Amino acid sequence: MNRKEEILRLIEEGYSTAKELARYFNVSLMTIYRDLRELEEEGKIVRRHGNVELRREEELRENVCAVCGKEIDLRLAFIYMLRGGKKVHTCCAHCGLIAYKNINRESVEMAITRDFITCNPVNAFASTYVVGGVTTPCCKPPAFVFAEKEDAERFAKGFGGYVLGFGDAVAKMEELMRMGQRVDISL
């Protein structure tokens, strides 16, 4: 059994902090943090307030963001419909773009969200995004969804940000997060 599998087993048994895990394995905190980050990116654990928990099915609840745990405002919600009737709900396009990196893409049947201007439902894969900018409706760095590219371009002229299709928006969000963009999440 490799260390990451062993970490999952220990969390199931009640270990809840990086410090406890580092002590158990007799390794540095940095080593454990690296393992925990990888497990979190794989969608197997959730880190909250210094504690580590296994990600449970309840993390996919409709009223709580699967990425940041924030309560979902339906005007900004981003939903992936998966095979078998499961859904992954996120609070906003920011978290929706991040979630795409952590779900089994082959199981995604559709993704829906709402146009930022009209609030009408739109196909998330066929929409245009404004990533970044100076205004934030939910999580940072912000992401806004538009059914029409022209609306996205006008919005970006006023508030800044990058006008992108879905795939490029996922990549840009990952880049901004990796660069250390300050993230404010209110829980």
- Looking at residue 23, which CATH number applies to its domain? 1.10.10.10
Q: Are 74 and 48 found together in one domain?
A: no
Position 186 in a domain: no
Position 118 in a domain: yes
- In angstroms, the Cα distances linking 184 to 46, 111, 135, 180 are 17, 25, 13, 12
Position 135 in a domain: yes
Q: Are 35 and 67 found together in one domain?
A: no
The predicted-structure confidence for 20-52, as pLDDT tens digits, reads as follows 999 999 999 999 999 998 888 877 888 877 788
Position 185 in a domain: no
Position 133 in a domain: yes
Q: How many helices and strands (H and E) does the chain possess?
A: 6, 9
User: Sorting pLDDT into bands at 50, 70 and 90, what band is 186?
Assistant: very low
Q: Are 72 and 31 found together in one domain?
A: no
Position 187 in a domain: no
pLDDT value at 57 more than 60: no
Which is more confidently placed, 133 or 180? 133
The predicted-structure confidence for 69-90, as pLDDT tens digits, reads as follows 888 888 899 999 998 888 899 9
Q: Give residues with Cβ within 8 angstroms of 106, minimum separation 6.
A: none
- pLDDT at residue number 179: 76
Q: If you average pLDDT over residues 5-27, what whole number do you get?
A: 91
- 164 bridge partner residues: 129
- 53 bridge partner residues: 46
The predicted-structure confidence for 82-122, as pLDDT tens digits, reads as follows 988 888 999 999 999 999 988 888 889 999 999 999 999 99
Are 36 and 55 in contact by the 8 Å Cβ rule? The answer is no
Considering the chain, what is the average pLDDT of its residues? Answer: 88
Are 47 and 36 in contact by the 8 Å Cβ rule? The answer is yes
Please tell me the total count of domains within the chain: 2
Position 183 in a domain: no
Position 37 in a domain: yes
Q: Are 94 and 149 found together in one domain?
A: yes
Are 23 and 31 in contact by the 8 Å Cβ rule? The answer is no
Q: Are 121 and 134 found together in one domain?
A: yes
- Our CA angle for 116, 103, 172, nearest 5°, is 50
User: Sorting pLDDT into bands at 50, 70 and 90, what band is 187?
Assistant: very low
Q: Are 125 and 151 found together in one domain?
A: yes
